[in-house]
Structure 1
Amino acid sequence: MQLNEFGEYLPDTVPDGDQTRAVCPFLRPDLNEDALAERLLPECANYSRELGRFDRIFAAHVLEGTFRSEGSSGGVGSWIGVELLRRGEIDGVIHVLPVSRKNAEDPFFRYGISVTEDELRRGAHSHYHVVEISEVMQQARTAGKRFLFIGVPCMVKAVRRLQLADEVLRANIPYVVSLICGHLKSVNWSLSLGWAAGLTPEEMAEISFRVKSEKIPAKAYYYRVRAHGEREGRVLNSAEVTGGKFNMGAMMLNACDYCDDVVGETADLSIGDAWLPRYAFDWRGKNMLIVRNPHLSSLLVKAADESRLHLELMTPSEAAKAQSGGFRHRREGLRYRLALADSKGKWVPVKRIFSDRKPLPHRRLIYGLRQHCAAESRRAFRKALTHRDFSLYTRHMEWRFKLLRLLEIMIATPRILSVRLQRVKLRLQK
């Protein structure tokens, strides 16, 4: 896998054959999420059209140590890896780690293997950044050890397909955890955030996508960038940066527009944010956990009984509402994008269809403009990089993002008012 000029990973060669089609998460519809879950998660008795199979669903945060304060949300992602290490159930964790950069367009993160608690904690926080798994899968296959794999739904699905064909990887990766995913961003999106903070791509050393502070609500995404030789770095509100607001679609990978798995339906455990009114404004963060492995359910409940975790049961309906934006875009929006591509004679992967309902005209307008912004932003930022002029990107894209945001606010106003009303009620109850 190699980075292209847009900061996206592509294979340098694509071998033809059944094995390639069986592993790629966007091919072989007979190996979709439902089919994989049926074969790999037979103990799950519950099913939801949004969440797939599940054992239990929790809202959670870590009580012990500094997991919650060091994580982007409730801290469960790092905690589960450390817990399995402490219990001797795994020898290491395959996850995304920050890396040193030598060149201006190098990636900020890549997959690695952590075998100690300190190493594992280096990967805490959410990383909205492209990665690839081919190199680390080779390491996992030859290591002769047991690993927990943590990734976004498409990579989890690829790992699960690999495990169907490879007994060694099935034995070496006994646990798979998915992060609930909106979409992936290119390396160039990270560079755009740094440039907006006054750092050129050459000057930028590292980025953290979610800064946690008592003064920052959980739903407000502040990020920190640091230059080479700089200690503290610079913190900005991503919503105030051109293309910085995540759901604007800036430099989103095209493949993400053809994914219908929001929560990682093939994983033993899915972890995300519990974006419900009663949790969304707690700056410390709250995780939503969709558990599909009964052993992990027991492990979590035991930790809660020992006052190391805080758990609250959630219903499937609440869990779907907690990620409602993702489901709108990846289910209703996907139906629109598939029909649009078909009308233009473009190839698209065969996807599951969850509803016969067509998006309303105003929703179609948003989906179309979001797709336009994704495509235009990648070209405009490439031009800015080539000419070393950030204004070529901001001038071209700013009005497009503002128009998209205006449309979203107009349509979402009733929902926003409802959430704020619920927030006021909760405060009065306290």
Structure 2
Amino acid sequence: MPRPSTLSPTIKRVLEGELCTGCGLCAGISNGSIVMETVAPGYARPLQSAPIADETESIIASTCPGNVVEPWPAGANTHPYWGGWRQILTGAATDDEVCHEGSSGGVISALLIHALETGVVDRVLHIAADPTDPTRNVTATSRTREDVLARAGSRYTASSPLQAIETALAEGGAFAFVGKPCDVSALRRLARSDPRVEQHVPLAISFFCGGIPSHDGVGRILAALGVDAEAVREFRFRGRGWPGNCVAVTDEGSASMTYAESWGGHLSKEVQFRCKICPDAVGGVADIACADAWYGDDAGYPSFAEQEGRSLIISRTESGERMLNAAIQADAVRVAPLAVGEVEKMQPSQARRKRLVLARTAALPILLQPRPKMAGLRVAEAARRSPVGESLRNLVGTLRRTLTGARSRL
């Protein structure tokens, strides 16, 4: 029977607590009662227009990553920052075009192309630039190498790939899913109640996520470049090199800025609050997770100077390792082993964020604010590696910003 109230209790709680990731799962399973809309300052949020069944509400409550995050599988090789692993590698696509089009070494694109061409999957469900507004995102289905390459590269603004999950599952066949860590968490939790997920999604790939900036972040970039948003015909956040420039193309030409300027100067300042408390920003429940394998500069901090592309690659499941090894054996990617202790040198900001999750989320119940359930994600263990002073500053900072309504400025 439909619920008597208009708004899902879970969605209400998540929205009021600024915990929505914008994944689109609730919309995807609601049979049209919920859609994703853009709200100021440019995040994807659910809008419910009709009652939903109790069963649907139960699924939303058990899958929404703003409410509960899928725990990392238990295993001997599990790090409090980086999750579980079977292999940790660095590498790149062997195909120069694939390597160039991707955001780092093109490994995700290479794996998807290999999976398509060997029949492991018949399509890929992932994110692409909106053809009507290339500064925004749409959910897309790719079936060929050309499709994958046309949609390669990071997309640092709101995306809701799971709003298409019911359509994708109903189609049948086998598809790869590529999404943010929170998207993959929601998909894994959906599999607990919908057996079609295991049946039709043999490969889930994610990446280390720095958080989702609002669309206002893109506006900041265009303003700095002196480009009218209405005139943009193509917009790439990065790629075509490593890390590659942020580029806006109009009929009059193109304008660009470096990755360090676009992310560090604009986009990172617009990241939504839920991302600041993310207990799994490293794709810990994906089959394979990839990231930038940044080289350190003289001070030991990652250098964003243009270099030959290199990806960090972590296989996390038996099926993910099997897929990765097949791609290596087919010479789709070239790799080198990496010790787990080296990952923090490449991704220090991810390590710092994980250390501070406990301090930041501990502030929320003090002010009667909700927080996601995050058992099984080694949050307390990571927090023990944080200096006491840093943890206290973040606890107090979250309290202060929550009281002043400025939590996105953490």
Residue 294 of structure 1 is matched in structure 2 by 318
Measured at CA, do residues 294 and 347 of structure 1 come closer, stay the same or move farther in structure 2, by a change above 3 Å?
closer
Measured at CA, do residues 358 and 81 of structure 1 come closer, stay the same or move farther in structure 2, by a change above 3 Å?
closer
Residue 353 of structure 1 is matched in structure 2 by 380
What SS does structure 2 have at the residue aligned with 1:202?
A: helix
Residue 269 of structure 1 is matched in structure 2 by 288
What SS does structure 2 have at the residue aligned with 1:12?
A: strand
* Deviation for aligned residue 1:286: 0.6
Contact in 2 for aligned 1:258/1:349 (Cα 8 Å):
no
Equivalences for residues 383-422 of structure 1 within 5 A: none
1:326 and 2:350 aligned: yes
1:22 and 2:98 aligned: no
Measured at CA, do residues 366 and 282 of structure 1 come closer, stay the same or move farther in structure 2, by a change above 3 Å?
farther
Residue 340 of structure 1 is matched in structure 2 by 363
* Deviation for aligned residue 1:267: 0.5
Query: 1 CA distance for matches of 2:256 and 2:93?
Result: 26
**Higher helix content, 1 or 2:** 1
Query: 2 CA distance for matches of 1:165 and 1:343?
Result: 33
* Deviation for aligned residue 1:150: 0.4
Match for 2:276 among 254, 257, 274? 257
Contact in 2 for aligned 1:336/1:358 (Cα 8 Å):
no
RMSD, aligned α-carbons: 3.2
Measured at CA, do residues 107 and 7 of structure 1 come closer, stay the same or move farther in structure 2, by a change above 3 Å?
farther
What SS does structure 2 have at the residue aligned with 1:11?
A: strand
* Deviation for aligned residue 1:341: 2.8
Contact in 2 for aligned 1:250/1:377 (Cα 8 Å):
no
TM-score (norm. length: structure 2):
0.77
Query: 2 CA distance for matches of 1:203 and 1:298?
Result: 45
1:69 and 2:105 aligned: no
Measured at CA, do residues 147 and 321 of structure 1 come closer, stay the same or move farther in structure 2, by a change above 3 Å?
same
Query: 1 CA distance for matches of 2:405 and 2:101?
Result: 34
Measured at CA, do residues 81 and 255 of structure 1 come closer, stay the same or move farther in structure 2, by a change above 3 Å?
same
Query: 2 CA distance for matches of 1:200 and 1:308?
Result: 40
Measured at CA, do residues 113 and 138 of structure 1 come closer, stay the same or move farther in structure 2, by a change above 3 Å?
same
Match for 2:119 among 61, 69, 88? 88
Equivalences for residues 140-151 of structure 1 within 5 A: 140-151=168-179
Unaligned runs of 5+ in 1: 39-43, 379-399, 405-430
Equivalences for residues 226-237 of structure 1 within 5 A: 226-227=249-250, 229-230=251-252, 232-237=253-258
Equivalences for residues 21-420 of structure 1 within 5 A: 21-28=61-68, 32-34=70-72, 37-38=73-74, 46-101=77-132, 108-213=136-241, 218=242, 222-227=245-250, 229-230=251-252, 232-237=253-258, 239-240=260-261, 244-245=263-264, 249-277=268-296, 283-305=307-329, 307-329=331-353, 331-351=354-374, 352-354=379-381, 355-356=383-384, 359-361=387-389, 368=397
Contact in 2 for aligned 1:72/1:126 (Cα 8 Å):
yes
Query: 1 CA distance for matches of 2:342 and 2:281?
Result: 15
Aligned length: 357
Q: Deviations over 1:35-54 (max 9, x none)?
A: xx35xxxxx65222222221
Q: Deviations over 1:345-366 (max 9, x none)?
A: 3222233433346644467658
What SS does structure 1 have at the residue aligned with 2:270?
A: coil
1:11 and 2:46 aligned: yes
Contact in 2 for aligned 1:262/1:327 (Cα 8 Å):
no
Q: Partner amino acid for 2:371?
A: V
Contact in 2 for aligned 1:98/1:108 (Cα 8 Å):
yes
What SS does structure 1 have at the residue aligned with 2:248?
A: strand
Q: Partner amino acid for 2:46?
A: P
* Deviation for aligned residue 1:335: 2.3
Measured at CA, do residues 58 and 234 of structure 1 come closer, stay the same or move farther in structure 2, by a change above 3 Å?
same
What SS does structure 1 have at the residue aligned with 2:269?
A: coil
* Deviation for aligned residue 1:186: 1.6
Query: 2 CA distance for matches of 1:114 and 1:248?
Result: 27
* Deviation for aligned residue 1:122: 1.3
Contact in 1 for aligned 2:205/2:287 (Cα 8 Å):
yes
Query: 2 CA distance for matches of 1:362 and 1:258?
Result: 15
Query: 1 CA distance for matches of 2:255 and 2:407?
Result: 24
What SS does structure 2 have at the residue aligned with 1:57?
A: strand
Residue 419 of structure 1 is matched in structure 2 by none
* Deviation for aligned residue 1:55: 1.0
Contact in 2 for aligned 1:108/1:187 (Cα 8 Å):
yes
Unaligned runs of 5+ in 2: 1-35
Contact in 2 for aligned 1:269/1:290 (Cα 8 Å):
yes
Q: Deviations over 1:24-82 (max 9, x none)?
A: 01324xx6323xx35xxxxx652222222211111111123411111110010100000
Query: 2 CA distance for matches of 1:56 and 1:270?
Result: 11
Query: 2 CA distance for matches of 1:80 and 1:204?
Result: 31
Give percent identity, aligned residues only: 23
